[in-house]
Amino acid sequence: MGCGVALAALRYGPSPVTAADERFKVMRTDAEWRRLLTPAQFAVLRRSATERPYSSPLNDEHRPGTFACAGCRQSLFASDTKFDSQTGWPSFWAPLDGAVGTTTDQSLGVTRTEVHCAQCGGHLGHVFEDGPRPTGLRYCMNGLALIFVPRGA
């Protein structure tokens, strides 16, 4: 399949991130998403999987630019909001205006706030209230759900 260890290390949530009746600007069938995404990206973005911590090359991405949704390419986070949370996942203290949405996630028996792309509904990760100033938030994202676009590209 070509995704080997990364896919084997994924943990799956109970269901896709979005309700069947929820509408987004970018809507595709599962078959269309499977053609556009790698199996590991599909598992994260469309089935709420979680990649293994410290497995994403984006943890070490520090150039100026933008982190975008791997599913629809919508810009999500500016590089100057990225910080090292020491959790193993790319983390940010704020998204771009209107770029993400949130839902309540109780899949692990605790209430968490799930973060999804506002344009396609793809699961990105979760947001926690233990981040740095100025927001105090930690948007803990799956690297498989993101692509990096260097400034000027």
* Residues identified as active-site: 140
Query: What's the length of the chain?
Result: 153
State the Cα–Cα distance between residues 47 and 42, nearest whole angstrom. 7
Residue with tokens 């930690």: 138
Please report how many Cα atoms fall inside a 13 Å half-sphere around the Cα of residue 126, on the Cβ side: 18
* Pick from 88, 152, 74, 58: nearest CA to 118: 74
Render 31-74 in DSSP notation, one character per residue.
HHHHHHS-HHHHHHHHH--BPPTT--GGGG--SSEEEEETTT--
83 in Cβ contact with 93 (< 8 Å): yes
Beta bridge partners of 82: 92
